Structure 1
Amino acid sequence: MRERFASGLSDDSAKVSIETLNKNLSLVIDLSLTVKQAHWTMRGNGFIGVHELLDDAVANLRDILDKIAERTVVLGGTPVGISQVVAEETALPRYPTDTVSVKDHVRELTERYKLVAASLREAIDTTDDGGDQDTSDLFTEASRIVDKDAWFIGSNADGN
């Protein structure tokens, strides 16, 4: 680990937080790329509204990514967001690139958002238990944003 700048955490607490931050960095990067895949390829009923919603969702994910990466550096770690590592580390299932309809994209995206939200909630507890309430707060904020966007996206499914 590099020098911690402002955290005042023990090395053990910082290590737990850095590992948890990087795990979730990979997930959120993967989700952001998946949302762009859907954005580029969807068509059908409700296209324009969902298409525009996904632009906002990606912007929210990128903001979360920056906060995760910056916190990792503050704790003395290195955010690892290169594509090779993301591909190895992500727990998200491979996105079906043959998906076309808005309805199918909404279903696939909502499933993945729920997985990321669950990981973020686990990260809240992990970092809080490790004594890093600031990182726990970061994950709480990220969880709220991901939950809200999952709801917005999922609200476009037929029958909702």
Structure 2
Amino acid sequence: MKTHNTLPKKIKADSIEVLQARLSDTLDAWSHTKQAHWNVRGPGFIAIHELFDKVADAIAESADAIAERLATLGGSPSGCSRDVAKNTSLKPYPHGIASEKKHVDALCASLSTLATSWREAIDHCDKSGDAVTTDLFTRLTGDLDKYIWLIESHNA
């Protein structure tokens, strides 16, 4: 899509590719978080159930920010479930688990993979010269690190 964004075309194209890949990861992480939210069981249910919902909302906001940046650069964000499943770098979320501990472990593994992919995006976009996308992923990663800490604290 034509845009009046003044970044050079090469940088825009490079960032669009990175943003789309990270959008797929982010949407997949959102689905993992909702899966945990819906299926967790245990004595601390309400606290962890509500935390998972809060994290899912934050991840959805992150996905929206990534998609909007992608569109700002002239790209066309794809968040359809089939595209996400095909393009995510996250491992599938385990089925058939219910305990708080197992969901905390599984969700932290998924979110840590997401954080790693965002950190790689930071490095890539910084090297290519897209400071705004670098800043976006830096901000999102800081927030995600906090959520991982909040979740993993339930298994301390």
Give the TM-score taking structure 1 as reference length: 0.95
In the alignment, the residues of structure 2 paired with residue 104 and residue 112 of structure 1 have an alpha-carbon distance, to the nearest angstrom, of 12
Count of matched residue positions in the alignment of Structure 1 and Structure 2? 156
* Aligned residue identity for 1:11: K
Which of 91, 113, 116 in structure 2 is aligned with 1:115? Answer: 113
- The residue number in structure 1 matching 2:133 is 135
In the alignment, the residues of structure 1 paired with residue 89 and residue 117 of structure 2 have an alpha-carbon distance, to the nearest angstrom, of 9
Q: Flag as ranges the 4+ runs of structure 1 deviating above 6 A.
A: none
Shift of 1:4: 2.1
* Aligned residue identity for 2:2: E
In the alignment, the residues of structure 2 paired with residue 120 and residue 133 of structure 1 have an alpha-carbon distance, to the nearest angstrom, of 14
- The residue number in structure 2 matching 1:80 is 78
Which of 95, 98, 101 in structure 1 is aligned with 2:96? Answer: 98
Which of 37, 40, 48 in structure 1 is aligned with 2:38? Answer: 40
Structure 2 alignment gaps of length 5 or more: none
Q: Give 3-state SS (helix, strand or coil) of 1:156's partner.
A: helix
Q: Give 3-state SS (helix, strand or coil) of 1:13's partner.
A: helix
Shift of 1:128: 1.1
Shift of 1:146: 1.0
* Aligned residue identity for 2:133: T
Shift of 1:91: 1.1
User: 1:96-146: per-residue Cα shift (whole Å, max 9, x none)?
Assistant: 110100110000000111110011011011111111100100000110111
- The residue number in structure 2 matching 1:13 is 11
Shift of 1:44: 0.7
- The residue number in structure 1 matching 2:3 is 4
Shift of 1:12: 0.6
In the alignment, the residues of structure 1 paired with residue 107 and residue 135 of structure 2 have an alpha-carbon distance, to the nearest angstrom, of 25
How many percent of aligned residue pairs carry the same amino acid? 41
In the alignment, the residues of structure 2 paired with residue 26 and residue 50 of structure 1 have an alpha-carbon distance, to the nearest angstrom, of 25
Shift of 1:45: 2.4
- The residue number in structure 2 matching 1:60 is 58
Give the TM-score taking structure 2 as reference length: 0.97
